[in-house]
Amino acid sequence: MKVTCPDCEAVIPAEHVSLETGWAKCIRCNEVFPLADLVEGYSPEGAPKAAASRGKPERPFDAWAIVEHDGPRMLIHFPPQGLRAGAWGLLFFAIFWNGFVFFWTLGALGVFFNQGQIQWENLAFAAFSTPFWLVGFGMLAAVLWMARGSRTVYFDGMQMISEMRCLFWRRNRVKDLVDVQHAREGRTVVKSDAQTTPYSVEIVFTKGSISLPCSSENEQRWLIAEVNEYLQRCARGG
């Protein structure tokens, strides 16, 4: 059985077809379509029962995400990870990097050779250090995100609100719940605690998605099950 995109008529690979959630994604168009519109005789009612028969995954003991349910509402929260070993290593390297660039910039300005006076004619030469300053500040920002950065996804029964926060910086995205389609294994690598993890959860909505990091494959499966169960319950009016 071949599933084809109704827009570009390209064949959708099997790995982009989810029988459990009832959706298929065309990579060429970057659009998601309900299988009921693409496959004659497909019944989405049987998919949740098949998934439920295998049992819902339990929350792993080492899961990063915190999930809370309150009636029609669900909260997914990723608290700050704090300064772990990888973050401390990056912090010390960033301090060394910025210190070296600082002294190099002073030398380029002629401070060490003219009784501590800046030679402004050397300003153009010293400006070559600008990209290295940006890299150094970028590493410090990464350490700050590891220590204080958090992610939250909140479902209130009508909307999905995603938030990224670090100290006084905040970024929100709001989507109507009817546009949120399902959760699946992430296709991108999400940075976390000075490392990259191959495990992530992608919540797909109309013309877009958001990615959430996971600490393990078990947490990925558990979080996907939590989101899809909630969306199915909302679709049934529960």
Final residue before a domain boundary, out of 55, 70, 94: 55
Domain containing residue 170: CATH number = 2.30.29
Q: Round to whole Å and give the CA distance between 205 and 141.
A: 30
Residues 67 and 138 in one domain: no
Rounded to whole angstroms, the Cα distance separating 202 from 184 reads: 5
Provide φ and ψ at 113, rounded to 5°.
Answer: -125, 5
Residues 17 and 31 in one domain: yes
Report the alpha-carbon distance of residue 142 to residue 151 in Å, rounded.
15
Whether residues 184 and 160 fall in one domain = yes
Q: How many CB atoms lie within 10 A of CB 140?
A: 15
Q: Are residue 31 and residue 92 in the same domain, yes or no?
A: no
Helix (H) or strand (E) holding 26: strand 23-26
For residues 2 and 72, membership in a common domain is answered with no
Q: How many domains does the chain have?
A: 3
Whether residue 214 is found in the same domain as residue 125: no
Domain span holding position 228: 59-80+151-238
- Together in a domain, 51 and 125: no
Q: Give the span between the Cα atoms of 12 and 5, in whole angstroms.
A: 7
Question: Which amino acid makes up residue 221?
Answer: R
Residues 6, 64: one domain?
no
Based on the fold, state whether residues 51 and 70 are members of the same structural domain: no
Task: Please indicate, yes or no, whether residues 98 and 133 belong to a single structural domain of this protein.
Answer: yes
How far is Cα 93 from Cα 194, in angstroms, rounded to an integer?
12
The whole-number pLDDT of residue 49 equals 47
Q: Name the β-bridge partners of 25.
A: 32
The answer to whether residues 162 and 199 belong to one domain is: yes
Q: What is the pLDDT along the chain (238 residues), one digit of tens a residue?
A: 577 787 777 888 877 777 666 777 777 776 777 777 777 666 655 454 444 445 678 888 888 889 998 888 899 998 887 777 778 888 899 999 999 999 888 888 777 776 666 666 777 778 888 899 999 999 998 888 888 888 999 998 888 999 989 888 888 889 998 888 888 887 655 554 444 557 888 888 888 888 888 888 888 889 998 999 888 888 776 5
SS (H, E, C) 20-84: CCCEEEECCCCEEEEHHHHCCCCCCCHHHHHHHHCCCCCCCCCCCCEEEEECCEEEEEECCCCCC
What are the beta bridge partners of residue 209?
204
> Do both 19 and 107 map to the same domain?
no
